[in-house]
Chain A
Amino acid sequence: MAYSEKVIDHYQNPKNVGTLDKSSKSVGTGLVGAPECGDVMRLQIQVDDATGMITDAKFKTFGCGSAIASSSLATEWLKGKSIDEALTVDNMDFVEELNLPPVKIHCSVLAEDAIKAAINDYRVKNGKEAIKFEESVVH
């Protein structure tokens, strides 16, 4: 299967690979997927407590090129967004931007889930309720 140029570019030059201090109250961490499924994404956001803006985002991903590209793209999109804006990111945004074929849609769902999980982790850490999301369908 041929990958799109954008996937290849993110795979070869991934943006924002790394680790934020997960014990910090201003950092939200989302860890989604499972090793036996062949995909694990960890997405972290650094939030400015005063403004609610995401000032930094990092990822590490175990998975195929599309999973790596989706998480790299997610970090790029998240930086500079508010939490509320970040919640509007949809898995189909990844599919369109990266030209993911149908068999790779689960990578985009995983990226969306990772964003939501990171936001919820941040909310819970700061005494807010976790947002309940509908179960993702495509897995």
Chain B
Amino acid sequence: MLKLPIYLDNNATTPMDPRVFEAMTPYFMEHFGNAASRNHPFGWEAEEAVDYAREQVAKLIGADPKEIIFTSGATEADNLAIKGVFEMYASKGNHIITATTEHKAVLDTCKHLEKNGAEVTYLQVQRDGLIDLKELEAAIKPTTILIAIMYANNEIGTVQPIKEISTIAKKHGVLFFTDGVQAVGKIPVDVIKDGIDLMAFTAHKMYGPKGIGALYVRRKNPRVKVTAQMDGGGHERGMRSGTLNVPGIVGFGKACELARLEMEADTKRISILRDKLETELMKLEEAYINGSTEHRLPHVTNISFKHVEGEGLLMGFNKNIALSSGSACTSASLEPSYVLKALGLGDDLAHSSLRFGLGRFTTEGQIDYTIKAISETVLKLREMSPLWEMYKEGIDLNSIEWAAH
């Protein structure tokens, strides 16, 4: 029996794996100690658990445990990396290069720094969502201190050419930070092979708990330092003060270990389901995949169904299927997804998009149900759409003078 509702919004957050929950539970009541309490067994237990989890986390990304700084999540890690580098390397320069499709945690942090004297270059992306490496290299100047480009995009799943970016950064002596939130635990990420200097990632996108994330900060070749953004007891090698979230860290560690051991099998299974979903939905007329299909996360697809509006579409099945749309009909601005617009999509296609994020617990039965429900709703709404009628009559929609609205 198929259980409803179906969850296909795994880019927003993932359900916690029961094995992660099991690993965490003793650390709420039984082993409640403060990992910084050095002089009694409660503290020792907590510290030991944190050390073990730090190793599990580091191992997933090919890092040394000492290079892992625990934070409250990826937003904090993004802030710490960018603000921390900006402050630490102020004597070297003030220029940061990022891209227009970054997560708001990166873009808004950069905007904040612009008010404090930073100069920020926002690279445009190409139609497939990838940055142009030549443009990146051309944007570097003597004052450039940081390149901040995400590993994989949260809306379209596009995976950036990380190795090539880090090679360019290294060549010019610029630090490279990547927001790895959507990639870590889903595809192989290795900070050494990828040449990453700093990387933000979080537990709740890989079947771990919310409220715990990490910043990887390279210690060798080069040794990277960031200025703390949270002052206090000097935890996390002075880079992030605050009592450690021991149960969260234990869960994060377990989630990383599971990801490392099961990623290959998970990916194989999930990508087959994603491909089935995509192939079937693309059989509908006037359906378009957004972003690169070649350089893409295996569990993500983003599709626009022309002449139906995304939110209206979601309403047809959102009691039974959890998805998100690039339409922003509920926002005051009425602006659709800035990521889709950055790809050069017209507002009409951006309004018509659905984002699918499959996960470890997605089943074939769920995908079959989703294909049917979405196909039926698209057809129903097109019967109701004046734009679809005009399209079918061969009227060029761009030739119509739409009332400003």
* Real binding pair: yes
Is there contact, CB below 8 Å, between B336 and A68? no
Specify which of B307, B334, B346, B386 is in contact with A42 (CB 8 Å cutoff): B386
Q: Which residues of B contact A60 (CB under 8 A)?
A: 384-386, 389
Q: A41-B386, A61-B384 are in contact. Are A33 and B315 (CB under 8 A)?
A: no
List the A side residues contacting B387 at CB < 8 Å.
Answer: 35, 40, 62
A11 and B309 contact, CB distance less than 8 A? no
Residue in B330, B347, B386, B402 whose CB lies within 8 Å of A61: B386
Tally of A interface residues using CB under 8 Å: 33
Question: Main secondary structure on chain A at its contact with chain B?
Answer: mixed
Residues of B within 8 A of A64 (CB): 309, 311-312, 315, 327, 329-330
Asked if A137 CB lies within 8 Å of chain B CBs, one says no
B-side contacts of A39, CB under 8 Å:
309, 329, 405
Partner pick for A3 among B315, B331, B403, CB 8 A cutoff: B315
Taking the closest CB of chain B, its distance from the CB of A139, in whole angstroms, is 5
Does residue B348 face the partner (Cβ distance < 8 Å to A)? yes
Partner of B389, one of A19, A32, A103: A19
How far, in whole Å, are A118 and B330 apart by their CA atoms in the complex? 27
A17 proximal to B (CB < 8 A): yes
A35-B347, A62-B307, A67-B312 given; A1·B386 CB < 8 A: no
Q: With a CB–CB cut-off of 8 A, which chain B residues contact A1?
A: 330
Q: Are B385 and A65 in contact (CB under 8 A)?
A: no
Closest beta carbon of chain B to A110's beta carbon, Å? 7
A35 to B349, CA, bound (A): 9
With contacts A17-B383, A33-B405 taken as known, whether A63 is within 8 angstroms of B347 at the C-beta atoms is: no
Q: Are A103 and B332 in contact (CB under 8 A)?
A: yes
Q: Are B403 and A14 in contact (CB under 8 A)?
A: no
Q: How many residues of B contact A (CB 8 A)?
A: 33
B397 close to chain A: CB less than 8 A: yes
Residues of chain B lying within 8 A (CB to CB) of residue A19: 389
B152 within 8 A of A: no
Query: CA A72 – CA B332 in complex, angstroms?
Result: 24
Known contacts A35-B347, A35-B348, A40-B387; decide if A62 and B309 are in contact (CB<8 Å).
yes
Contact check, A31 vs B386: say whether CB atoms are below 8 A apart: yes
CB pair B330 A33 closer than 8 Å:
no
In the bound assembly, the distance between CA atoms of A19 and B402 in angstroms comes to: 19
Minimal Cβ-Cβ distance residue in A for B403 = A32
For the complex, is B351 an interface residue (Cβ under 8 Å from A)? yes
**Closest Cβ of chain A: how far from B54's Cβ, in Å?**
40
Residue in A11, A14, A37, A62 whose beta carbon sits within 8 Å of that of B405 in the complex = A37
Complex contacts, A62 vs chain B, CB 8 Å: 307-309, 312, 385-388
10 A-B residue pairs with CB within 8 Å: A34-B402, A34-B405, A38-B347, A62-B312, A62-B385, A62-B387, A62-B388, A64-B312, A65-B312, A113-B403
Contact surface of B with A, Cβ cutoff 8 Å: 307-312, 315-316, 327-332, 334, 336, 346-348, 351, 383-389, 397, 400, 402-405
The 4 closest A-B pairs by CB, nearest first: A36-B347, A34-B402, A35-B348, A42-B386
